[in-house]
């Protein structure tokens, strides 16, 4: 079967995989793009890492209100409005909003933690470690370990996912990137708690 360049281009845009691999997968799938995506995924070629650099200008703003006491709005972006209307994507946005309500993160990712907050936390942890009487050369390792714990408590993407604590929110999103075939990013969120 002859595979058109347009079909190969469409598959490349969906997966981020090279031209020849896309053409081969399309030939194997008799021109069916969705089946070709599955073939590439089975081969391990269409991975979330390859999609992470792609631009995300579409998406949804999701919300979740828990017992009228906690409210969350979250913006989750994807590459196309087609995916934004996809049920799997919509469920992911709901899950993320619910997770934010339950886990109360302060930042989306480690990169969003401001320098002044980092410096203050490091100083606190260093003083706590120093108070234990540990040698000076061990303090930095202790501080690094506590900073890692700090990130997993305050950064959304580093937190254990509420519906499956064996995985992080980042890994949960990566599994959806693999399944859906587009880059997905949490852009921002806001969490309200009654009385705060």
Residue 171 has pLDDT above 70, yes or no: yes
Higher pLDDT: 77 or 143? It is 77
pTM value is 0.68
- In this structure, whether the domain defined by 5-46 belongs to CATH 1.10.8.10 is answered with yes
pLDDT at 20 over 80: no
pLDDT of amino acid 53: 58
Q: Report the residue count for the chain.
A: 196
Nearest to 95, CA basis, from 183, 163, 40: 163
Instruction: Please state, rounded to an integer, the average pLDDT across all residues of the chain.
Output: 86
Topology at the third CATH level for domain 58-108+155-193: Tetrahydropterin Synthase; Chain A (3.30.479)
What is the rounded distance in angstroms from the CA atom of residue 178 to the CA atom of residue 34? 13
Residue 95 pLDDT level (bands cut at 50, 70, 90) = very high
- Domain 114-154: CATH class, spelled out: mainly alpha
SS3 (DSSP) at 44:
coil
Structure tokens at 3: 């595979």
Domain limits, the chain: 5-46, 58-108+155-193, 114-154
């Amino acid at each position: 079967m002859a595979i058109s360049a347009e079909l190969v281009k469409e598959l490349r845009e969906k997966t981020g995989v090279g031209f020849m691999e896309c053409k081969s997968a399309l030939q194997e799938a008799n021109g069916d793009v969705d089946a070709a995506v599955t073939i590439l995924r089975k081969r391990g070629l269409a991975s979330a890492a390859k999609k992470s650099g792609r631009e995300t200008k579409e998406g949804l703003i999701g919300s979740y209100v828990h017992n009228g006491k906690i409210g969350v709005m979250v913006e989750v972006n994807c590459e196309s409005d087609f995916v934004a209307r996809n049920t799997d994507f919509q469920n992911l946005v709901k899950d993320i909003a619910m997770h934010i309500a339950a886990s109360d993160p302060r930042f989306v990712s480690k990169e969003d933690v401001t320098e002044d907050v980092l410096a203050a936390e490091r100083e606190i942890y260093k003083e706590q470690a120093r108070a234990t009487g540990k040698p000076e050369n061990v303090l930095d390792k202790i501080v690094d370990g506590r900073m890692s714990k700090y990130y997993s408590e305050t950064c959304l993407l580093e937190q254990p996912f509420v519906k499956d604590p064996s995985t992080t929110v980042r890994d949960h999103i990566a599994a959806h990137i693999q399944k859906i075939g587009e880059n997905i990013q949490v852009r921002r969120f806001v969490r309200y708690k009654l009385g705060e």
